[in-house]
Structure 1
Amino acid sequence: MPDSVPRASTLTTPGLRKNGKQWHAQKSAFRPTSGQTSYEKRLAGRKAMTSMKAKEKEMKDEKEDERQRRIQAIKDKRAAKEEKERYEKMAEKMHAKRVERLRRREKRNKLLKS
């Protein structure tokens, strides 16, 4: 009749600590081989990490390209505005047909340089 004997529960509450520091967390036993993983698991983890890093890099590159495109659009717009203002100033002093001739000539020179 061993079943009729009451057994102590396996979940025992720890008593008071010997050093009196009950507010500290209880430490578990030191098991040096517990954190080791198999080679296949490590390989799978590395593969997942490299694919994640590649995706992150791709996303960052897309974001940077978009940013550079916006910056270039702003620069182009400013340059066009400055050129327009310059031609308007020239038109105040000169005849309109001469300004148009100069504009076409500058445009040709610009195309030849680049």
Structure 2
Amino acid sequence: MSTVIAEGSGTTERSLGMRVNGKQWHAQKKAFRPAAGLTSYEQRAKLRVAQAAMKAKEKELKDEKEAERVKRIATIKERREAKEEKERYEKMAEKMHKKRIERLKRKEKRNKLINS
């Protein structure tokens, strides 16, 4: 095992010598430093702010997608209701006079406005 140390003009090689246990094929171990991986409070705070911003953006996108889905469902329901109502009036038209159906339509619309 040897390390290369860069100096001003050239490189010199410094030998670490033989390992005490004789297992030169193993990687060299470094000193245990429990505080080596710790980050400063400022870095943790920045990371927290960045994660909060990312979560807010994700929530915003998810809410937009959900609103679009709800809007699409509402338009489908409105179309179906309109179609059913039209079919109902067509069935009534087979049995009743046209003027009477128009009166019923107006009456039902008034009731819808009052009830809603």
Q: Secondary structure at the match of 1:35?
A: coil
Judged with a 3 Å threshold, the aligned counterparts in structure 2 of structure 1 residues 49 and 27 are, in CA distance, closer, same or farther, namely farther
Judged with a 3 Å threshold, the aligned counterparts in structure 2 of structure 1 residues 32 and 102 are, in CA distance, closer, same or farther, namely same
Alignment of 1:35-114 (within 5 A): 35-114=37-116
Q: Secondary structure at the match of 1:31?
A: coil
Q: Which runs of 4+ in 1 moved over 3 A?
A: 6-10, 26-31
Q: TM-score, normalised by structure 2?
A: 0.74
Shift of 1:34: 2.0
**Root-mean-square deviation (CA), in Å?**
2.3
Which one has a larger percent strand, Structure 1 or Structure 2? Answer: 2
Question: Percentage identity across aligned positions?
Answer: 62
Unaligned runs of 5+ in 1: 1-5, 18-25
Structure 1 partner of 2:3: none
